[in-house]
Amino acid sequence: MVQKYTSMAYAKADDMLFGNAKFPVKAGLGLEIGAGYATPELNYAPRPQAGKSKDKLVKEYERITTDAMARMVQIGAPSVVLETEHVEQMSNNPDWGAAVAHAQKTIMEEYHDEYGIKCALRHTIGDIREDRDYLQLRGDKYNTFMEAFEQCAQNGADLLSVESMGGKEVFDYSILRNDTAGILFGIGVLGSMDMEMVWSDIAAIAKKNGVVAAGDTDCAQANTAMFIAGGLLDKNLAHTIAIVARAISAARSLCAYEAGATGPGKDCGYENTIIKSISGVPIAQEGKTSTCAHSDLMGNLTMQCCDLWSNESVEYHGEFGGTTVQCWVESLAYDCSMMNTSLKLGKAKDLRDILALSDKYRDPQGYVLAYDNAYRVGEAIAKDGSDNYLRAKNAAVECCNIVEEGIASGKLRLTRFETNALAKVKADLEALTDDSNKFMSDCLTRFKEEVAVFRPENYGL
């Protein structure tokens, strides 16, 4: 049962804060996420050669888990979440993922029993629903995909997530051609339709197994845009277009919670502050502590309303200070300690604002995602919450309005290239119909012709 959000969880933006969600989530071994404290969430990737066999992979994750848990108790961290993002072997062979989850959870239970450290294990299943040439969202691989969730849930995973790929084929084509309608169709319409299907099924599996259907991220699309946009001097994509894609992605990633997920949303979902404003679910975020994986332009800002604070991903290997997982989980834990101290001292809103303001005017992406503006995007989505297309379009339009206001204030300074790109996106959006059926029909006709790998049957169309 998909129940769309048509109102905001918070009465005003100022009510949103890190370590606190309107609807906290209990998970794993004594952990409650969003219940008044922030928790580090460590993410990692095995070394390249570890994927050669199931045994090698399980041993690699045992080393990772032991290293991380040991470092947490060595520095006195009260809580931690470990996130295992499946390598393809673990989702294509659900028993591999299950074996890894079991091995990790066994170690975490030992640490919990001995030290009392609160902890939970998130498994993020790989979206394996494709073959060489096409997405195969509803094809043969769907059963294996769901089996991977089921087996992980049965074998120790406390939080289930995925970075689902619906709409990516149209998005990939469109983002490289500044095609606003295609970006909106790929993320806001196709992505949302696929998420409603996938998350209804994940939520049912989670319920059956007594674990948490956590949440998704538009990594496949909005993060692709952010990654291509790159730094201030990169010339691959206007950052004003990247943030419009991000605003649309909030309408899309929200679908997980409408289909039964309860949070915490995935770390790389930079759209999560918007989603938290509408849904009140706890969220994971990443920023300055994910520089091991990629650069962004809002390293502090993203901490503003997080409940889990993540490093995105780091390859497991040695560093001067220990293994990478030890170094990065320690950094995460100290950031959480800072946030939790500010909460105890009654200074959390000041810290939140300092974090947000340190990046707010750096780039249009951070500007729109600053919690005050993110809340406005949330309102635009909730206004037409029952219509996937309209709410995604609303988010994009409101995003353009917010950036324009920032430019007018003199505080958000953009190049002519970026302001021109913004003007084009806004004009494109204004020219689009408000009729969802017409938009769907127009896009189907167009993208069936233009995008060779687009298969409408992936979306039941």
Partner 1 sequence: MLDLKLEDIDGILVRYNVALEKEMTPDEAAEELYPKDELIYPIAKSIYEGEEDDVVDGLKAAIAAGKNPIDLINDALMVGMGVVSQLYDDGIIFLPNVMMSADAMLNGIEFCKTQTTEVPEPKGKVVCHVAEGDVHDIGKNIVAALLRAAGYDVVDLGRDVPVDEVIETVVKEKPMLLTGTALMTTTMYAFKEINDKLLEKGIKMPFACGGGAVNQDFVSQYDLGVYGEEASDAVKIADFINANGTEIEKLREEFHKH
Q: Which residues bind partner 1 (CB under 8 A)?
A: 13-14, 45-52, 87-89, 130-133, 172, 175-178, 224, 228, 232-233, 235-238, 315, 350, 353-354, 356-362, 370-372, 409-411, 413-417
By beta-carbon proximity to partner 1, the closer residue of 24 and 46 is 46
Q: Identify residue 129 by its one-letter amino acid code.
A: R
- Sign, CA dihedral 176-178-179-185, equals positive
Helix axes 54-74, 324-345, angle to 10 degrees: 40
**Is the Cβ of residue 87 or residue 284 nearer to partner 1 in the bound state?**
87
Q: How far is the CB of 29 from partner 1 (least distance, A)?
A: 28
* Smaller CB separation from partner 1, 128 or 189: 128
C-alpha dihedral, 410 to 412 to 416 to 418, nearest 10°: -150
Q: How far apart are CA 436 and CA 441, in angstroms?
A: 9
Q: How far is the CB of 118 from partner 1 (least distance, A)?
A: 29
The DSSP secondary structure of 394-451, one letter per residue, reads HHHHHHHHHHHHHHHHTSS---HHHHHHHHHHHHHHHTS-S-HHHHHHHHHHHHHHH-
The nearer residue to partner 1, 66 or 313, going by C-beta atoms, is 313
Q: How far is the CB of 28 from partner 1 (least distance, A)?
A: 26
Quote the least distance from Cβ 362 to partner 1, whole Å. Answer: 5
Written as one letter, the residue type at 195 is: M
How far apart are CB 268 and partner 1 at their closest, in Å? 12
Please give the Cα distance from 138 to 439 (Å, whole number).
23
Q: How far is the CB of 366 from partner 1 (least distance, A)?
A: 10
C-beta closer to partner 1: residue 4 or 424 = 424
Q: What is the 3-state secondary structure (H, E, C) of 241-266?
A: HHHHHHHHHHHHHCHHHHCCCCCCEC
Whichever of 297 and 333 has its CB closer to partner 1, that residue is 297
- Of 340 and 373, which CB lies nearer to partner 1 in the complex structure? 373
Q: What is the CA radius of gyration of the chain?
A: 21
Write down the residue that tokens 């029909």 correspond to. Answer: 441
* Both structure tokens of 269: 């979902």
Q: How far is the CB of 244 from partner 1 (least distance, A)?
A: 13
**Minimum distance from residue 270 beta carbon to partner 1 (Å):** 17
Question: 232 or 345: whose CB is closer to partner 1?
Answer: 232
Q: Could you give the count of Cα atoms lying within 13 Å of 414 in the half-sphere of its Cβ?
A: 26
